[in-house]
Structure 1
Amino acid sequence: MEITFLGTSSGVPTRSRNVSSIGLRLPQRKEIWLFDCGEGTQHQLLRSDLRSSQIRRIFVTHMHGDHIFGLMGLLASCGLAGTVSAMDIYGPPTLDRYITDCLRWSQMRLPYQLKLHTVEPGQVFADSDFRVDCQPLHHRVPAFGYRVSEADRPGRFDVEKAQSLGIPPGPLYGQLKQGKTITLKDGRKFQGTDFCDPPQPGRSFVYCTDTIYCDSAVELSQGATVLIHESTFAHQDAELAFQRLHSTSTMAAQVALAAQVKLLFLTHFSPRYAPGNPLRLDNLLEEARAIFPATKLAADFLSYDIPRPHSVNV
């Protein structure tokens, strides 16, 4: 699981930061899941190591333009390229109408299967490898945070031990790896748990934007390997954050601390903290680290390979 930031500015793009989008690369299945798709996202993809042909699912947090204005252009380009066979898009109410109306009025015809899913709190997707859940956030329009949880991996199977006990290789090894009990022809019984190390915990990634501090963000983020949380404002601009229902650096850190996540990335920065201004992003980072030391600043094209929970690199 590798995350790549494609846009980390709030509201409007700047010279160094595009508006919101994050790619989650799943190498084991050669898929990319996109979270939000602000204007210019397909240009950001061209400048990154991500391939738009591998985009399989898109999760939209809310209907503000800096999070969706790049969606239709990306869908059209994927269709013209002819490299996408199916796409699932998840998002709040009215997203389906927005996409349907855009397709209608632009007379766009997509040559691949497009499925639209209106999300509700709880599970929105699951298969044998991953589960995606969402929870409502606190913003000016309906908004959702998303959590991607990877299934636990079986522990290492002790082949040498099995061989030393005369267990013949083949299907019986597979049953032991699954934790089942087997019986040999000579009547001996063996339990799979005696041959396997403890399971390797799966990784988890949480994306919360746009929102002010809220309990549902803490609930969604509990124990996450990586939390990406908006940090539109500095602590001294908390009044603006309350007026516009966005988070400060300290609010994001408080969510991370309360949820006991392993690593926090701040993103969705107001242009008011660009270089040359009295307050800069380094100041926001200092504010967050005073509460939650394991904090990093997101930047466009920054990639982070999410490690197993026991070895998170801070």
Structure 2
Amino acid sequence: MKLIFFGTCGGIQTRTNTNVSFLIVDGELSILVDASGNPVHYLERAGVDPRTLDILVLTHTHTDHIYALPSLIHNLWLMKREKPLSIISNQFTLMKAQELCTCFSLLSKENLFQIDWVKDNLGRIELFTVDHSTPTSGFKIKSSTTAIVYSSDTSPCKRVIQEAEGAKALIHEASNTSEFEDRLNSAGHSSGRQAGEVAARAGVETLFLCHFDPQYANDSTELMAEAGISFNGEVIVPELFKTYEV
């Protein structure tokens, strides 16, 4: 599988980085995770025709993860997309996503492509509940040879460890340093140190860090060092638009 990150920031964007969103490509299957920034532009830049995107995973309803959904659907409609699009999430997020689209009368557009709203699981994608301040889903995607797990926004969570056992890669949020763990955890977030502990307990080979507070959006060296205290595998702060093979 291939991973391409479009942004690694948390709720606040910077001049050179934007909110967390990434693309997973497995053969002919393309999956966009969360809708922030400029999804169609990102897909085009990554070499994926937006009209062929297969699946959109929405992890939760916080603004930085869902605000670009209307733009994505509107662009695809203007591009005369014909292929159905599957949007997968938990029940609460699906409901709010449809409400958001209704604000722009998108779902009643003439000749709108088919949208399949899918709860929790779809094929090789399995969603699971994590510990955040609103209903939030992490997920696991499996191929014939490997698996990737994404924590989404969460405080340290046993369910993430369980789902990541046997996976090759874990994508885990690391909003700030261990100095602020009490504040982070109370808001449903994790530190770099805690992300490393989760990865170590799960036994994954590679840990991708993301969802950085703005002071770490362009230099996450300290968060990488924290993650490496307990995790002996490879720790990666993703370079935007670089393709990572998992």
Alignment of 1:290-301 (within 5 A): 290-293=229-232, 294-301=234-241
Distance 1:138 1:221, change over 3 A: same
Query: Do 1:206 and 1:221's aligned partners in 2 also have CA atoms closer than 8 Å?
Result: yes
1:23 aligns with 2:23: yes
Alignment of 1:298-309 (within 5 A): 298-306=238-246
Query: Do 2:155 and 2:189's aligned partners in 1 also have CA atoms closer than 8 Å?
Result: yes
1:125 aligns with 2:68: no
Alpha-carbon offset, residue 106 of structure 1: 1.6
What's the % identity of the aligned pairs? 25
Distance 1:137 1:99, change over 3 A: closer
Measure, in 2, the Cα distance between the counterparts of 1:84 and 1:18.
29
Alpha-carbon offset, residue 274 of structure 1: 4.7
Query: Do 2:131 and 2:154's aligned partners in 1 also have CA atoms closer than 8 Å?
Result: yes
Q: Give the corresponding residue for 2:221.
A: 282
Query: Do 1:223 and 1:262's aligned partners in 2 also have CA atoms closer than 8 Å?
Result: no
Q: Which runs of 4+ in 1 moved over 6 A?
A: none
Alpha-carbon offset, residue 16 of structure 1: 1.5
Alpha-carbon offset, residue 13 of structure 1: 1.4
- TM-score, length basis structure 1: 0.73
Segments of 5+ residues of structure 2 without an aligned counterpart are: none
Equivalent of residue 64 in structure 1, options 62, 65, 75: 62
Query: Do 1:145 and 1:220's aligned partners in 2 also have CA atoms closer than 8 Å?
Result: no
Q: Give the corresponding residue for 2:201.
A: 258
Measure, in 2, the Cα distance between the counterparts of 1:215 and 1:86.
35
Q: Give the corresponding residue for 1:48.
A: 46
Alignment of 1:172-183 (within 5 A): none
Measure, in 1, the Cα distance between the counterparts of 2:67 and 2:103.
15
Measure, in 2, the Cα distance between the counterparts of 1:244 and 1:99.
22
Measure, in 2, the Cα distance between the counterparts of 1:113 and 1:41.
19
1:226 maps to a residue whose letter is A
- Work out which structure has the larger RCO, using CA pairs closer than 8 Å and 6 or more positions apart in sequence: 2
1:134 aligns with 2:89: no
Measure, in 1, the Cα distance between the counterparts of 2:82 and 2:160.
33
SS of the residue corresponding to residue 228 of structure 2 reads helix
Measure, in 2, the Cα distance between the counterparts of 1:210 and 1:281.
18
Distance 1:106 1:274, change over 3 A: closer
Q: Give the corresponding residue for 1:13.
A: 13
Q: Give the corresponding residue for 1:112.
A: 113
Q: Give the corresponding residue for 1:161.
A: none
Query: Do 1:39 and 1:71's aligned partners in 2 also have CA atoms closer than 8 Å?
Result: no
Alpha-carbon offset, residue 211 of structure 1: 0.2
1:231 aligns with 2:174: yes
SS of the residue corresponding to residue 264 of structure 1 reads strand
Query: Do 1:134 and 1:220's aligned partners in 2 also have CA atoms closer than 8 Å?
Result: no
The count of residues paired between Structure 1 and Structure 2 equals 242
Query: Do 1:63 and 1:92's aligned partners in 2 also have CA atoms closer than 8 Å?
Result: no
Distance 1:140 1:77, change over 3 A: same
Alpha-carbon offset, residue 39 of structure 1: 3.2
Query: Do 2:20 and 2:65's aligned partners in 1 also have CA atoms closer than 8 Å?
Result: yes
SS of the residue corresponding to residue 91 of structure 2 reads coil
Measure, in 1, the Cα distance between the counterparts of 2:189 and 2:97.
26
State the structure with more CA Rg.
1
Q: Give the corresponding residue for 1:74.
A: 72
Measure, in 2, the Cα distance between the counterparts of 1:273 and 1:114.
37
User: What do residues 266-290 of structure 1 show as CA deviations (whole Å, max 9, x unaligned)?
Assistant: 1111102256xxxx41111111112
1:74 maps to a residue whose letter is L
Query: Do 1:16 and 1:300's aligned partners in 2 also have CA atoms closer than 8 Å?
Result: no
Measure, in 1, the Cα distance between the counterparts of 2:76 and 2:211.
26
User: What do residues 271-314 of structure 1 show as CA deviations (whole Å, max 9, x unaligned)?
Assistant: 02256xxxx411111111121132111232132011xxxxxxxx
1:268 aligns with 2:199: no
Alignment of 1:111-260 (within 5 A): 111-119=112-120, 124-126=121-123, 131-151=124-144, 202-260=145-203
Measure, in 2, the Cα distance between the counterparts of 1:139 and 1:9.
17
Q: Give the corresponding residue for 1:97.
A: 95
Alpha-carbon offset, residue 43 of structure 1: 3.2
